[in-house]
Structure 1
Amino acid sequence: MTSTTTQQQLFQYLEDRFACAQACTECARACALRASLMDPDGTEEQELVRRKGIMCAEVCDATCRVLSEQNRTDETGIRVQLEWCRTVCLECAHVFDGRPGAEDGAKACRECAQACTDFLASLG
């Protein structure tokens, strides 16, 4: 039988993991939408925004899949994925900053990066 503290820690871990996966899903959606609005034959700056949006959406989607797998990924693998996601989200937010209409995407990226940071902290 597990102690109450251990059960509380497990519940918190699962809540943090779910919150992170949810933030990844929202960020993937926002970034994919932002990327789809960019003209693929546009300026070099528009192409950068489009590429970063696509990359961020793909990384967030992959992170969400890793977080939804039960016992198929070890803690080290989860940490690496979370670090990668956090880094890509922050880079994408930076690229979205100051671009008209990209505010929601930048916000979703920052929220996802924070959720990854919070979940990493819960791993100890």
Structure 2
Amino acid sequence: MNAREIQEQIDNLNYWDSEVLQLGVDYFGDEVTIVFDNTKLLFTGCIQVHINTDPQDRKIPIKTLTRKQLPYFMQSIEVTSFQTKSLAVVRFGGNKLPEPAEKFNLFKCKMLMPPLNVEIYCSSINIKRNII
């Protein structure tokens, strides 16, 4: 599936203003899971995960909040294509020289769920419906 097809599937979820119930990062950042309403987005083969929020958002530990107290509601999900090269580090004469290797076609996904912003670069996005 390409980025446009994934974006169409996500848009068809009518996710706007959905409660975000979970954001998990597992396996040293290889997988990211986001759950909202009755939908789960699973990002795998992740190479970068950026999570940004306002310091005010962390004054009270999130783990102490009840579901009704969680302040996150999905506002925007944008999926695009992204291409990068692998950098193999080669030792030559005591110096490390980066050597471009294989090209990778990845996805870049930006999500806005104020006060949280998430940006993920991954190799696949899986959408599961009716998980609750």
Query: TM-score, normalised on structure 1?
Result: 0.25
Which has more helix, going by share of residues?
A: 1
Bigger Cα Rg? 2
Which has more strand, going by share of residues?
A: 2
